[in-house]
Amino acid sequence: MRIHLCMNVRGALAQSDVELKRWVGCIEHDGVKCRNVREVRQFLIEALGEGYEYLVPAECDNYDPKKGCLGHPSEGIKHG
CA distance linking residue 35 with residue 21, whole number of Å: 10
DSSP string, 9-34: HHHHHTS-HHHHGGGTTT-EETTEE-
pTM value?
A: 0.74
pLDDT of amino acid 13: 96
Tell me how far CA of residue 27 lies from CA of 4, 19, 22, 64, 79, in angstroms: 17, 14, 10, 19, 33
41 against 73, higher pLDDT: 41
pLDDT tens across 10-67, in order? 999 999 999 999 999 988 878 899 999 999 999 999 999 999 999 887 778 888 888 8
CA gap 16, 62 in Å, rounded: 31
pLDDT at 55: 87
**What pLDDT does 77 receive?**
54
Using CA atoms, how far apart are residues 14 and 25, in angstroms rounded to an integer?
A: 19
